[in-house]
Amino acid sequence: MLFSSDEIARAKEIVYATLPATPQRVWPLMADALGQEVWVKHENLTPLGAFKVRGGLVHMRMRQERGQTDGVISASTGNHGQSIPFAARHEGVAAVIVVPENNSAEKNAAMRALGAELIETGHDFNAAKKAMEQMASERGLDIVPSFHPELVLGVSTYAHELFDEAGELDAVYVPIGMGSGCCGVISARDALGLKTEVIGVVSTEANAYARSFRSGKAEATNSARTFAEGMAVRIAHEDAVAMINKGCSRIVEVSDDEIAGAMRLLFRTTRTVAEGAGAAALAALMQERPAMAGKRAGVVLSGGNIDAARFARVLAGETPKV
């Protein structure tokens, strides 16, 4: 999924008409803690608190330009589910978002505030997705998938920002939910002709993409019980697997304890709030610290949308239970 220079320029035009570029910073306290140069890409500082908004803006604009202006429906645990109604409102399109029954209350409130009709059903993301597909048929709504080339094109703009400032890093760690963020980094790396390693990160409790990387084909797991809901995916997407398996050097699995530790390190060294998935990239770098010694690494802080009570527990030294 290599995009042309014209496609990348068009995506930037659409994204930057609505939101500014986010910063990428090397924080001295983090460098001291890890003993190396670490570039943090702050996608938690988008207007919606996560990287997904970029893909939503590009996809919904391109749908509008194709005349696809009927109502849309999508499944999400929160960040994709905020990006779609936000972008749909810009294009004058109604949006329905289907979330799991145990979803973050604060993310649900944010989606409603953005104009989404919110439906809570299913025990996890994949169950909600199955219900969403049935609703789309019954209500005549167009499905916006969680993985699509236009979503990848949109979110790739953050990777271009990172590489434009940091240059050719030795490695970039990026969390994997459905895969658009990781594929966006791969596509930007390849478009720029860089040799940077792209390292995907998944939860030990939701490791479908790690299994898919090992087997060479899309795999599924029986459960996805991690508090990092942005990575709580049981079924890998075939198109994402094809791109990730070709473009990533490896997939690192991190535990909920490691994610919570990375959240605390991010807050201590950068005063930044990260949700579970948002801290997973740093957790993977911390796990691989000996092998990465002396190298320039980037970590994608993909989002900061976490319920206040849960974040308070993390800062108190706990690992939230699911």
The answer, yes or no, to whether residue 21 has pLDDT greater than 80, is yes
In the chain the domains, ranked by start, together with CATH numbers, are 5-51+149-315 (3.40.50.1100), 52-143 (3.40.50.1100)
Per-residue pLDDT tens over the stretch 159-168? 999 999 999 9
pLDDT tens digits, one per residue of 39-98: 999 999 999 999 999 999 999 999 999 999 889 999 999 899 999 999 999 999 999 999
Tell me whether residue 297 is exposed, middle or buried, using C-beta atoms within 10 angstroms of its C-beta: 0 to 12, 13 to 18, 19 or more: buried
The tokens for 269 are 């060294």
pTM for the whole structure: 0.95
Beta strands in the chain (DSSP E): 24-26, 38-42, 72-75, 95-99, 117-120, 142-143, 171-175, 197-203, 250-254, 297-301
- Residues 254-284: tens digit of each pLDDT: 999 999 999 999 999 999 999 999 999 999 9
Q: Residue 1: which pLDDT band, with cuts at 50, 70 and 90?
A: confident
